[in-house]
Amino acid sequence: MYLPRSLISHLYLHLLRTHHSQSLPVLILVALEPDTLCACRILTELLKHDYIPHKIVPVAGYGDLKSAGKQLVQPMRTSDGGDGGVVVCLGAGGVVDLGHILGLGVSQDGRYGMDGVEVWVVDAQRPWNLGNVFGGWPSARSENSAFVKGEEGVENGRILRSYKPGRGGIIVFDDGDIEEELTAEQDAYCALAEMPDIGSDEEYLDLSETESENESGEAPKSPRAGSKRKSLSDREEEDDESGSEEGRPRRRQRSNSSSSISSPSQPRPRGLLITSDRLPGEPGSDPPSNRSSTPPKQPSARALRRQFIKLRRQNEGVLKSYYALGNSYAEPISSLMYSLASELGREDNDLLWYAIVGIGSLELYGKDITGVGIGHRENDTRGPTGWGGERGNRIRQLVRDEVRRLNPPKLNDSERDATRGDAYGVIPTTARSPTDTSIRLSPEPKFLLIRHWSLYDSMLHSPYLAPRLHIWSDAGRKRLHKLLAKMGVSLTQCKQNYAHMDMDLKRGLRERLLKYAPLYGLDGLVPPVASAGTGKEGWGFVRSWGWKACLSANDVAIIVGAIMEVGKTGILYPENSRNGMGQRGPEGEDGVAEGGSYVSRFWEAYDGLGDVDALKAALPTAIHLHRAILRTGTSIIEKRQIRHLRAFRMAVVRDGPDVLLFTHPSALTKLALWLGEAIAEQEQEQRGKLAKGGRGTPLVVAGLNEPRGVYVIVGTGGGGRAADLHNKKEERRRKEEKIKAKEARRVGKEKKRQERTENMGDEDEEEEESETDSDDDELSDMETETRGYGRNNFGNAFQEVADETNAQIRIDSFQHCVVEVRKEDLSGFLESLSLKTVIG
């Protein structure tokens, strides 16, 4: 089931009415990412305010999620002696069959249901698992169905205002995408759920042979004696059993239900839908119109069966195409949780700050509407647009409005701002007063930790500026020096801490960057000049903690991410040392860290979000990590270690002083994004590929974890251009108009045929049905191409390689473009991967 955004507070208000300080705690399962961490802080602040007990459990991947289901969720069921309760999954489980992962399928007494356990799913990753979205009520499932039908307060999987929570079920929080974009998938899912079971396609073929034998007198070939025909659901169960062999990963998105409608491995249908349990032409259905006095011949059973199977295949094709679109990211869940707080009337600066940090973190990790990859580079000429294109701009505008509403200017602020230089666009580095804890808008340039570093180092390590100036080469360093010289900033000044720079230089820095940065192709380096029409579009956010600190939202996101990736003290070893990161967490049988360091880092980051002193103490960690990214990326490019494969480029980090830093998927992702930007710049300058194709080249980066004997692999996309996407949409619109005109002509011919008195045979029916198949298929392909344009398909490609090869592969991360491969299987894995489609 899914909860529309208009009813976002419906479930929480019921929780508020039914829970008290002595109730069972709400279980919160949190993925290890900055956005989910910020969403968790918002939710827990709401629960604390209402005295609702809760328990937070960090989960690093699907293995941890499954263990939490077995140890914590299943005992909550009434059939297992529990009292029911609420489980909240933040950033975990939205793309898989969550009922199966948490073990909420069959209880100990053999009954199939959730027994009072209500699971809330809040996730930004796409595609959704449609079984969770339009099903999600295992207690109402039959053996061959995963669909909520006739449930009070639920209509086609959509929760209505009359819905009464507390009965259990999987409920997905909709950020608006489901109701706006998944209408076709909802119709297909519901149609498949309502279709009666008439057997498999093989049974249809046997029936056809039997009917042919009755007409010709020849006996059909009988199946092997004692064999039993297998339905589609039976074959799926066999696939599940065969796919779970030891050493091979289980397909994450495969449903535990025997129904094909909740499994991403099934086809995705389009076209006509059956809205009742009657087959077309059965008694009780509407009779076809006929102008002739002679009634037409009724379709045969074979024709009806063929039509029914065609409808089923069409609807299965809709679901399959949706799952094949590739991974992408929708609205940050921290923003969605702030919307919940706003509906409850609980907004304050703390909750707003958590939402701002969470929104900014998605851009730092390359999580966009096209999945993990470099951004839409055509935006550089129009200034930074931030996360999510137009939708991201709307969210940021709403956040800016909230900042102005909750932090109104005081009467003496304008005079103070003029004295400090804030009116000229100076980056604020201090608070306005000892008690100032306000959030302000700031013209943040795309530098890295500029308040806590020198201007030179901040520019040198900027993921935006470094690839565009080719910082990895001597010529690139000279370009940076020349840019600073044109701006009138000496190396002596820019290499001291930014807070101690000359005030006149800081006041004029923004104007100088706006003047000279475009000469080096750095149009989006600083936000554009504020005007009456645009306001402060593109400006960042800064918060003060009195005289203690002044941090931007990006600063906090970078620090919190570094804590979760490498810890606060784990990487403080000499830069040229080859020592490891210190003590690692305990390892399980498969060599994967379970709990241990990952969990301790989560709590360090969780505490750091609310403690500015902890954030300041972790600054050296963030600085060291980004020094390592620049050092390692420069080494890879200088040594020409980037290989050109058929479908992507690849690089391997297997030696050097920082190799263990990049065994964490998120740290490796940051390195991959840095390299991807560098490759895109080289291609744009050398061959103009980006200008012609609209996208950069996909990149695969592998980091060696020598103690465990595995490679951690991440695949990033090359981004896409909005202009190309617009052209594809226009092409699809013209094709739709052409098909509509052709369909109108076909309907006219059909009416003329119906006026004839002679009966239509089966062969004529079959020919008629196939007339529009090619057009429908072409339109479906165009729709899929438009929706999935530029999306990261590495998750699907990794799963296909895992199913086809004998390589030891582990797919456990919630980030589906991340996979682990045994050291000896790397070459075979990459060879098979190069034959796959990795970008939509």
Domain ranges of the chain: 2-194, 445-526, 641-720+791-833, 722-758+772-782
Q: How far is CA 731 from CA 180, 326, 370, 722, 777, in A?
A: 21, 21, 20, 14, 15
Domain 2-194: assigned CATH number? 3.40.50
CA 799, CA 715: separation in Å to the nearest integer?
13
What's the 3-state SS for 663-720?
HCHHHHHHHHHHHHHHHHHHHHHHCCHHHHHCCCCCEEEEEEECCCCEEEEEEEECCC
Tell me which architecture the domain covering 641-720+791-833 has in CATH.
Roll (3.10)
383: confidence class by pLDDT, cuts 50, 70, 90: very low
372: confidence class by pLDDT, cuts 50, 70, 90: confident
Residue 506: predicted pLDDT: 87
Residue 246: predicted pLDDT: 38
More confident position, 121 or 418:
121
CA 258, CA 397: separation in Å to the nearest integer?
45
Whether residue 665 has a cis bond before it, omega within 30° of 0? no
37: confidence class by pLDDT, cuts 50, 70, 90: very high
Express each pLDDT in 541-593 by its tens digit.
Answer: 999 999 999 999 999 999 999 999 988 765 433 333 333 333 333 333 333 33
Q: Per mean pLDDT, which of 335-349, 678-692, 741-755 is the most reliable?
A: 335-349
Average pLDDT value over all residues in the chain: 77
**Could you tell me if 680 and 690 are in contact, meaning their C-beta atoms sit under 8 angstroms apart?**
yes
- The encoded tokens of residue 524 equal 């989006």
- To the nearest whole percent, how much of the chain has pLDDT over 90? 38
Nearest to 170 by CA among 69, 81, 24: 69
HSE value, Cβ hemisphere, 13 Å, CA-based, for 807: 28
Lowest mean pLDDT among 54-58, 288-292, 365-369, 427-431: 288-292
CA 287, CA 296: separation in Å to the nearest integer?
11
For the chain, give me the number of helices (H) and strands (E)?
Answer: 30, 21
CA 617, CA 608: separation in Å to the nearest integer?
9
CA 232, CA 580: separation in Å to the nearest integer?
51
Q: How far is CA 409 from CA 404, 406, 454, 538, 590, in A?
A: 8, 10, 30, 20, 57
Cβ neighbours of residue 645 under 8 Å, at least 6 residues apart?
830, 834
Residue 384: predicted pLDDT: 37
What's the 3-state SS for 770-832?
CCCHHHHHHHHHHHHHHHCCCCECHHHHHHHHHHHCCCCEECCCCCCCEEEEEHHHHHHHHHH
pLDDT at 466 over 70: yes
pLDDT at 324 over 60: yes
Per-residue burial over 297-307, b if 16 or more Cβ lie within 10 Å, else e, is eebeebbbbbb
Residue 731: predicted pLDDT: 61
pLDDT at 419 over 70: no
283: confidence class by pLDDT, cuts 50, 70, 90: very low
Lowest mean pLDDT among 333-347, 572-586, 782-796: 572-586
Lowest mean pLDDT among 193-207, 213-227, 306-320: 213-227
